Amino acid sequence: MGASLGIGSRMTVQVTVQVTVVHARRRVAVVWLASATVALAALFPMSDASRACAQQTLAVRQVSGEYCKIPLPAEQRVAVGDRVRFAADGEEVIFGTVTAVAADYFVARFASRQLKVGDAVAIRGRTSSKSAEGVVETTENPEQPARKTRQELLAEKQAELEASRQARWEAALAKTGVKPWAVPTEAQHAETTAKHRELMKQVGQTYQGMQLYETEQFLFFSNIPANQVGPYVLQLDKMYELLMKMYQIPADQPVWLGKCLVVAFVSQQQFAHFEQTFMNSAPAAKTYGRCHQNSNGSVVVGCYRGENPHDFGHMLVHETSHGFLHRYRTSQRLPAWVNEGLADYVGQVVVPTSRQVALQQRARLQVVARTRSLEGALNEVTMAQSPDYGIYSWAVTFLIKLDDAKFKEFIDLLKAGVSYPESLQQSYGATPEQFISSLGATIGIPNLRP
């Protein structure tokens, strides 16, 4: 391959390549072996001399962001919206989308990789925007492998991303020394379930009207009237399905050790007595429910119904999601704002009829708008404070909506024992200060103080 570099904005690298394309309408294969010049500058017009050169050589001349100006071979037809496959320097296959077509060149946008001056590119094939099946069209050449569908290429890309994230997860574990949960044996599942049933037996002997409602993942033991229980059990199952999807956990890999036990009472007095007698816990007067996350992996939730069935459903999902997160990957605890914010987010998604989260956010954000500061609410070591729950759910919702795949990696890294700032940097590419600034911009405070 010969090369000649000019001075200033006109740079060319001469290469010889084989271009294989398919006629956009007649689907007639044309093979053209020649030299052409590619000018990667969407904003620079081509002179007559450049056009003549463009018909002889193919090379990267300039780069203007993601846009490339590429001369057409004599017999090539290209339409706006076509997807073009390029092999760059023999390293990888990248895609460009045609955004404009002129008499002797077309403009393509490459979002997956920014080309640079000196890259040699070879057009390997193109996909017409009119193709119903989305298969890259090429000439039939027995020496070339079959082209893959868009779905297959997307699946491969997703697999590569997951492999990269898994590698970072394993590297984080090696660095921090945090140990993942061991896969429970059938005997361990059975042992935990037996202990839960023994506890239910004792509770049933203490409080009247207790009845078991069992699903695939939950033991719901309650004296709430039977005609009121159905929606709550359904919400628990929905919460489990939501988090399994969020964390991309295969359906055949159960999260709980045994099943999650939920003990729900009608009255606050019964709940408080249960916590003191059976769980060695003394809940505060305003405590609605409590999730007990044991070091062996078992989870028990105690709670009472209260007067608002929508808020009870939200609390039930909130507390139980804490248990799910305890069982996810490792027993590592998360920063309070992430733990409580995520629980409120899940509760709001599963029980949208509850107004609790919306009211908390409105009240707290009014204060933030006035003080222009979060007053340390999103610090890594800050203990959860009830007035700040609105900030917690606001921040978590922002991260999830920004990119749910990156949020999963963020949680994975935290569960591997990586610090909050480093987890945020690795997953979102941002510092806590940048995150908070972006968060503040959503309510018109771009310079929000941490």
Report the candidate in 276, 300, 392, 287 with the shortest Cα–Cα distance to residue 345.
392
Q: How many other CB atoms are found less than 10 A from the CB of residue 233?
A: 17
**Residue 17, pLDDT above cutoff 50:** no
Q: What are phi and psi of 278, to 5 degrees?
A: -105, -20
Burial class of residue 251, CB neighbours in 10 A (0-12, 13-18, 19+): exposed
Mean pLDDT of 98-108: 68
Q: What is the pLDDT of residue 240?
A: 97
Structural domain boundaries in the chain: 16-128, 182-328, 335-450
- Gap between the Cα atoms of 420 and 402, Å rounded: 17
- Provide the greatest CA pair distance for the chain: 95
Q: What is the pLDDT of residue 65?
A: 65
Q: Which of 18-32, 175-189, 381-395 is predicted with the least confidence, judged by mean pLDDT?
A: 18-32
- Gap between the Cα atoms of 408 and 158, Å rounded: 14
Mean pLDDT of 33-45: 32
Report the candidate in 290, 310, 307 with the shortest Cα–Cα distance to residue 351.
310
pLDDT in tens, 300-332: 999 999 999 999 999 999 999 999 999 999 999
> How many residues belong to the chain?
450
Q: What is the pLDDT of residue 320?
A: 98
Q: Do 143 and 20 contact (CB within 8 A), yes or no?
A: no
pLDDT in tens, 415-441: 999 999 999 999 999 999 999 999 999
pLDDT in tens, 50-94: 333 333 345 555 556 666 676 665 555 667 777 766 655 555 566
Residue with tokens 């908070």: 436
CA 110 vs CA 46, 85, 97, 199, 392: distances in Å: 20, 10, 7, 61, 38
Q: What is the pLDDT of residue 19?
A: 35
Q: What is the pLDDT of residue 87?
A: 59
Which amino acid appears at position 319 of this protein? Answer: E
What's the token pair of residue 408?
């999963």
Q: What is the pLDDT of residue 131?
A: 38
Q: Any bridge partners for residue 261, and if so which? A: 219, 300
Q: Which residues contact 326 (CB under 8 A, 6 or more apart)?
A: 291, 293, 299
Q: Which residues contact 106 (CB under 8 A, 6 or more apart)?
A: 69, 70, 72, 78, 98, 100
Q: Any bridge partners for residue 71, and if so which? A: 105
What's the token pair of residue 286?
């305003």
Q: How many helices (H) and strands (E) does the chain have?
A: 12, 12
Q: What are phi and psi of 366, to 5 degrees?
A: -65, -40
Mean pLDDT of 281-300: 92
**Residue 165, pLDDT above cutoff 70:** yes
Which amino acid appears at position 30 of this protein? Answer: V
125 confidence band (pLDDT: 50, 70, 90): low
Tell me the CATH architecture of domain 182-328: 3-Layer(aba) Sandwich (3.40)
Q: What is the pLDDT of residue 224?
A: 97
